């Protein structure tokens, strides 16, 4: 892996520099300054929240633990890393930079944030940083012209980035295998989560997002993160939405399992899985993501009809909003340096917004797919009490088999999610490939 990354990194950095050159020209700036950031302090406390690096910082180099550090770039010059390595016996001091990427930077090591700021070039500076104490004395201007351009082009992953995303998928798939085994062994949600972390060899703070580990009815809570410590009397179903990180790049994977005693739920999982693979196969150049989302509603409405939950046509289920009660979120989102990556709604490299389709407020991407983009495909069917209660008062309530719905409430719901690369040809399914190798 190291040799592969070493060979791919120079092209990646050249691409990042080229984009920075163009963004700075658009904004009329001389320098790009990117802050790694600093940990946020807990309210009324002397402890910090876990450090999360600025995604623009880790786009330049695979450094995710460098609080207070900066990248300074001037077009035509070698990029500079101002690396903070404090004198500190309370915490582990970050190691001096090393690895395949260091030869491509001028590196200056300083002992504190103030010294780092003193190393930054003067002039017309585009600063990309959060409003945090580390940027005192440096305007955190985040100029829209620069950010819009950089965010738009971050949608197109370099071969180096795709290599890291394959690695994040490999780690995630391995950990998902361990979680599924823990479910089969009768573990609690907390126990399953511990098995996941152990297999991923990552802490909660290192994962790209908080894992969702839900047994039985808990699968109906879309962002369930409670982790019951005691296993239920009967573990009928299991939904896990969990990813992994590789040098700051994310994977985002969801799988749903049925116990051996619930074949009727397994049959519904199988139908959703077949539908999901059909949607993933449509991740091709020119495909409108909102249109794919609407298509998914029609297919899933057909699954509901096929399994006897509704008696209306798929078209009627979508038009009336019935499909949205069972599938209430978007089909997916861009992924990369962030699990919900930037520019999902952006109209062009100059900014702007492409609106969501009417009636679909939770869709996280409205762009047309292009080669180099990576998106998640995560359809779901759920039995959510609040949404089902709203359906009962509608004129078409008689077209729903409420006894069948009631029987499936105990399973919570189904979500299946893959990370898929749009290429010039057939899509590359990072997740399915990773499971095939794990």
pLDDT in tens, 393-416: 899 999 999 999 999 999 999 999
C-alpha span between 372 and 427 (Å, rounded): 10
Find out whether 55 and 45 touch, Cβ atoms under 8 Å: no
User: Helices in 89-237 by DSSP H: which ranges?
Assistant: 113-118, 144-154, 159-184, 189-200
Q: Which residues of the chain have pLDDT under 70?
A: 131-137
Give the per-residue pLDDT at 132: 53
Topology of domain 2-154, per CATH?
A: Creatine Amidinohydrolase; Chain A, domain 1 (3.40.350)
Query: Residue 70: exposed, middle, or buried by beta-carbon count in 10 A (0-12, 13-18, 19+)?
Result: buried
Q: Domain limits of the chain?
A: 2-154, 159-437
Give the per-residue pLDDT at 1: 86
Give the per-residue pLDDT at 2: 87
The single residue listed with the structure tokens 């990576």 is: 374
Give the per-residue pLDDT at 44: 96
Would you say domain 159-437 falls under CATH 3.90.230.10?
yes
Give the per-residue pLDDT at 71: 98
Q: What is the value of pTM for the model shown?
A: 0.96
Give the per-residue pLDDT at 140: 76
Give the per-residue pLDDT at 91: 86
Give the per-residue pLDDT at 137: 67
SS3 assignment for 8-46: HHHHHHHHHHHHHHHHHHHHCCCEEEEECCCCCECCCCC
């Amino acid at each position: 892996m190291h040799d592969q990354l070493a060979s791919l990194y120079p092209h990646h950095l050249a691409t990042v520099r080229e984009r920075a050159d163009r963004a700075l020209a658009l904004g009329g700036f001389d320098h790009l300054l990117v802050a790694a950031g600093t940990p946020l302090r807990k309210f009324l406390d002397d402890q910090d929240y876990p450090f999360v690096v600025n995604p623009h910082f880790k786009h330049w180099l695979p450094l995710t633990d460098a609080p207070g550090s900066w990248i300074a770039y001037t077009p035509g010059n070698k990029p500079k890393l101002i690396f903070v390595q404090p004198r500190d016996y309370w915490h582990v001091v970050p190691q001096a930079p090393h690895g395949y990427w260091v030869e491509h930077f001028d590196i200056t090591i300083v002992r504190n944030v103030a010294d780092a700021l003193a190393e930054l070039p003067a002039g017309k500076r585009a600063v990309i940083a959060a409003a945090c104490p580390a940027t005192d004395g440096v305007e955190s201007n985040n100029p829209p012209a620069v950010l819009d351009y950089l965010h738009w082009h971050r949608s197109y992953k370099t071969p180096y980035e795709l290599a890291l995303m394959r690695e994040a998928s490999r780690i995630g798939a391995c950990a998902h295998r361990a979680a599924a085994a823990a479910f089969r062994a009768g573990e609690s949600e907390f126990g399953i989560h511990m098995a996941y972390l152990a297999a991923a060899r990552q802490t909660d703070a290192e994962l790209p997002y908080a894992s969702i580990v839900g047994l039985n009815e808990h699968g109906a809570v879309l962002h369930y993160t409670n982790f019951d410590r005691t296993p239920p009397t009967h573990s009928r179903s299991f939904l896990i939405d969990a990813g992994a990180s590789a040098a700051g790049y994310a994977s985002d994977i969801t799988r749903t399992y049925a116990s051996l005693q619930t074949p009727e739920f397994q049959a519904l999982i199988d139908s959703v899985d077949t539908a999901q693979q059909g949607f993933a196969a449509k991740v091709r150049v020119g495909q409108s993501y909102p249109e794919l989302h609407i298509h998914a509603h029609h297919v899933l409405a057909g699954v509901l009809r096929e399994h006897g939950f509704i008696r209306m046509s798929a078209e009627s289920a979508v038009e009336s909003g019935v499909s949205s009660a069972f599938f209430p979120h978007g089909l997916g989102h861009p992924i990369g340096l962030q699990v919900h990556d930037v520019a999902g709604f952006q109209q062009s490299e100059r900014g702007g917004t492409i609106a969501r389709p009417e009636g679909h407020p939770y869709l996280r991407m409205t762009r047309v797919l292009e080669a180099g983009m990576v998106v998640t495909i995560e359809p779901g069917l759920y039995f959510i009490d609040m949404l089902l209660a709203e359906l009962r008062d509608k004129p078409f309530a008689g077209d729903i088999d409420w006894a069948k719905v009631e029987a499936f409430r105990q399973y919570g719901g189904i979500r299946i999610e893959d990370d898929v690369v749009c290429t010039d040809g057939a899509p590359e399914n990072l997740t399915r490939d990773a499971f095939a190798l794990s």
